[in-house]
Amino acid sequence: MPLVTLPIDSLNPADSPRLSGIDSTRAHAMAESGTDLPPIVVHRQTMRVIDGAHRLRAAQLRGADRIQARLFDGTADAAFVLAVEANVVHGLPLSPEDREAAVVRIVFSHPQWSDRVVAARTGLSDKTIAAIRRRRSADLPKLNSRVGRDGRIRPLSSAQGRRSAGELMTANPHASLREVAKAAGISLGTAVDVRRRILRGEDPVPPKQRATPGIAGDAIPVSSTVDEMAGRDHAATLQALRSDPSLRLTEAGRTLLRCLNLHMVDQDQWSRMVDGVPSHCAEGVADLAAACAAAWQQFADQVRRRGNAPV
């Protein structure tokens, strides 16, 4: 931003995120300090002070009629966001009430921003931003996507992507999770969760993401997928692998056989284990299971590609 010297009487009152306005004690202390004051920031289009209201007041108390400033070019909404950011990172901290009021204004002016983007601008947690959105949801525009901190646009709900993934898995049970995730436009972790739900005979979309609470969508038929993915004679396949010298007589092969044997669990055993997980451990167990599933799927994809590679 260019540095200029402006007449103080050309400036308009600050559009400040501070609900209580200027702290006169702080302004007087700055005026009496005798030190040079850093440039303020001014919105060129409106000549409102964005950052530096206390410095401006201190300059006035010193009897100055001009002040150094940096000019910001942009919309009034962008100028307000800059004012919030400036007050979060330096100077007199914003109070919790100031920050919450700023969040309300920002989510109205930038409804497409994700909770994390707003959180980064205001110094609050993304959970706090989400709670504020929920309280004001009736007044906010309805959007199907938001812009993340990396600039990418993401859907607010993965319901449609989950359904597409479920259909792809049913049509092609041998498709890798990465292929399904890419085709359905969902993350690899979501694809893992979809496959896990299908194997349990559940709707691939969690209840909270369904359009009408309490009404399930078209569940993926458990017979078509579980029978295909879990009903084959894997025991015979494992026995044949155990008898193969190229696996049985190498350290890597024996490690692989032990891992495969450990994970040869039928659907009834999985169901019993699900019932045995305490509720307070559910999240941790689910995360680890999803990570294991993703690792096994990646291993399967690599092995399949190696097997199909020309010799």
CB atoms within 10 A of CB 247: 17
Domain ranges of the chain: 3-153, 159-232+265-300
Residues in the chain predicted with pLDDT less than 70, given as ranges, are 90-91, 137-158, 209-233, 267, 309-311
Q: Which pLDDT value is given to residue 2?
A: 80
Cβ atoms of residues 11 and 57 within 8 Å = no
Residue 5 token pair: 């010297």
β-pairing verdict for 66-72 and 48-51: unpaired
- Measured over all CA atoms, what is the biggest interatomic distance in the chain, rounded to whole angstroms? 94
Q: Tell me the chain's radius of gyration from C-alpha atoms.
A: 30
Q: Which pLDDT value is given to residue 159?
A: 78
With a threshold of 0.85, does the pTM exceed it? no
Q: Which of 196, 207, 266, 259 is nearest to 235 (CA)?
A: 266
Separation of alpha carbons 105 and 84, rounded Å: 11
**Measured in whole angstroms, how far is the alpha carbon of residue 34 from the centre of its chain?**
46
**Measured in whole angstroms, how far is the alpha carbon of residue 115 from the centre of its chain?**
8
Q: Which pLDDT value is given to residue 233?
A: 60
Cβ atoms of residues 39 and 1 within 8 Å = no
Q: Which pLDDT value is given to residue 140?
A: 65
Residue 250 token pair: 């190498």
Residue 114 has phi, psi (to 5 degrees) of: -70, 165
E strands within the chain?
A: 3-7, 40-43, 48-51, 66-72, 145-147, 153-155
Q: Which pLDDT value is given to residue 100?
A: 84
Tens-digit pLDDT profile for residues 150-189: 556 555 556 778 888 888 888 887 788 888 888 877 777 7
